[in-house]
Amino acid sequence: MIRHRPRGAGATVGVTALALLLTACATDTATDAAPTPEAAPSTVVTETATPTTAPTLSPEEQQRLDTELIAAAWADDVPAARELIARGADVNATDDTVQSAYLIATSEGHTELLDLTLANGADMSSLDSYDGTGLIRAAERGHADIIGRLIRHDVEIDHVNNLGWTGLHEALIFADQAGRPARGDSTDFMDSVRVIVAAGGDLTIPAQQDGAAPLELARRHGLTSQASLIEQAVAADRADAPSRDADAELLQAAASGDPDAAALALRRGADIETRDAQGQTPLVVATRNNHPRVAALLLYLGADPDAQDDIQDSAFLYAGAEGLDEILAMTLAHGADVTSTNRFGGTALIPAGESGYASTAQILVDAGVPVNHVNDLGWTALHEAIIYGDGTGGHLETIRILLAGGADPTLPDGDGTSPRDLAAGRGQGQVVALLEEAL
């Protein structure tokens, strides 16, 4: 669980003489070397380490595999990277530009590739040609999710590169480059600052070029939201308020949809998995109130998407049931269990079918939620889309999605009634036609 991290612990001070000369090229080295667009979000399966009994390789074979792995990393070709690692490729091997598969994943925002390298020995202390960690590279590009994953693997949060910048400095300095290739948008850059603040990043380290602290940098670059958060965090760090309940503050922030307040509560030591009177974690609270920015912060820092409350709702299950696609996609990207079930014994797909949330159903089918799962009422998602729908609009589209995803058009409900008969009995002619076509 995420607890308060010490601030300002052992920042590594780098060389400053080349700072101004290198600034312009620092921002685009990785992109210029191999321009690749940001990968589309996808469901991430937790990686397990490749068996350590790799074959003995000659130096030439090792170099070839390592070179192929770096090429696969630039292409974000995870299957190829997985195969190469299994054959002995080293995730920390660098090319002539001092970039490894691991470091490439951090700068390009390739979350699944990053998880693969982390599971196979990625060196959190490895540095690029600017003496920057993976966190600094990710912060420069606004990859908040990557930053959170690295923090959870104990990367040094306050490391200073040879330009004199920490990750927080770079998240502020390069925020105006949001939207460029391999970079996040303005929301991602704001989220990056929130993650670093929440995790206890040092807010007092000055940028070595001009001595500007993060708050001054934020103001200088016109980042009013970032400046407000940093100012509040600096003030809170100086205050002595032992009677304040950080856990309660985090739950309140989740309920009200205030991601800055959530970040400050986490910085003060709030338990990311604390529970309210209904057994809800902050993530469940944020999801119930449809606050995606709070949910993002919590997920980036390791909140459990499958933690269920007293009525067996999790963030994943509730987002699916209520058609909250943005939060749903984030829970899937953070390893939500697609086979988990609610208090009715149903998957997230079944209530999505009941409500005719076609886009939600598509996300869940694509993620591998069992299409023919039967809940305690004897119904699948297909049954519920028919029973609770009128055979048109979102329900009709949901039925198309379910059938295309492998829903069994002959599977009867708990009373022995087939989907076709259910539809015919409700006068749903278009549904009947779809089902007959699928037979």
342-383 residue pLDDT tens: 999 999 999 999 999 999 999 999 999 999 999 999 999 999
For the stretch 324-327, contacts whose Cβ atoms lie closer than 8 Å and that sit 24 or more positions apart, written own/partner, are 324/287, 324/290, 324/292, 324/360, 325/359, 325/360, 325/363, 326/292, 327/286, 327/287, 327/290, 327/292, 327/295
- Cβ 242 vs Cβ 198: under 8 Å: no
Q: What is the distance between the alpha carbons of residues 247 and 265, in angstroms, rounded to a whole number? A: 7
Token pair for 36: 């690749």
Token pair for 114: 């990053």
Q: What is the distance between the alpha carbons of residues 59 and 65, in angstroms, rounded to a whole number? A: 10
Q: From the CB of residue 51, how many other CB atoms can be counted at a distance below 10 Å?
A: 7
Provide the angle, in degrees to the nearest 10, between the axes of the packed helices 259-267 and 246-256.
170
pLDDT at 42 over 50: no
Q: How confident is the model at residue 402 (pLDDT cuts 50, 70, 90)?
A: very high
Q: What is the distance between the alpha carbons of residues 284 and 124, in angstroms, rounded to a whole number? A: 31
pLDDT at 326 over 90: yes
Q: What is the distance between the alpha carbons of residues 349 and 338, in angstroms, rounded to a whole number? A: 9
Q: What is the distance between the alpha carbons of residues 41 and 177, in angstroms, rounded to a whole number? A: 20
pLDDT for position 16: 36
Closest CA to 101 of 74, 61, 63: 74
Token pair for 267: 């910085």
* Chain position carrying tokens 């929130």: 194
pLDDT for position 244: 75
pLDDT for position 242: 55
Which domains does the chain carry?
A: 19-238 (1.25.40.20), 338-439 (1.25.40.20)
Burial category of 328 from C-beta neighbours within 10 Å (exposed 0-12, middle 13-18, buried 19 and up): buried
Q: What is the distance between the alpha carbons of residues 168 and 140, in angstroms, rounded to a whole number? A: 9
pLDDT at 164 over 50: yes
For 8-31, the pLDDT digits (tens) are 333 333 333 333 333 333 334 343
* Chain position carrying tokens 């995870």: 78
pLDDT at 3 over 90: no
Closest CA to 157 of 114, 112, 202, 115: 202
* Chain position carrying tokens 């939201």: 225
pTM assigned to the model: 0.87
Q: What is the DSSP string of 337-359?
A: -TT---TTS--THHHHHHHT-HH
- Cβ 137 vs Cβ 107: under 8 Å: yes
pLDDT at 50 over 90: no
Burial category of 33 from C-beta neighbours within 10 Å (exposed 0-12, middle 13-18, buried 19 and up): middle
Mean pLDDT taken over the chain: 90
Q: How confident is the model at residue 239 (pLDDT cuts 50, 70, 90)?
A: confident
Q: Which has more confidence, 34 or 321?
A: 321
Residues 6+ apart with CB under 8 A from 62: 88, 90, 93
Among residues of the chain, what percentage have pLDDT more than 90? 85
CA distances from 238 to 94, 150, 165, 197 (A): 42, 27, 23, 15
Weakest mean pLDDT among 13-27, 153-167, 244-258, 328-342: 13-27
For 180-194, the pLDDT digits (tens) are 999 999 999 999 999
- Cβ 367 vs Cβ 43: under 8 Å: yes
Q: How confident is the model at residue 209 (pLDDT cuts 50, 70, 90)?
A: confident
Closest CA to 268 of 238, 313, 291, 289: 238
pLDDT at 34 over 70: no
For the chain, give percent helix, strand, coil, nearest 5.
50, 0, 50
Burial category of 67 from C-beta neighbours within 10 Å (exposed 0-12, middle 13-18, buried 19 and up): middle
Q: What is the distance between the alpha carbons of residues 173 and 229, in angstroms, rounded to a whole number? A: 16
CA distances from 218 to 153, 168, 210, 225, 346 (A): 27, 10, 14, 9, 47
Closest CA to 260 of 238, 228, 284: 228
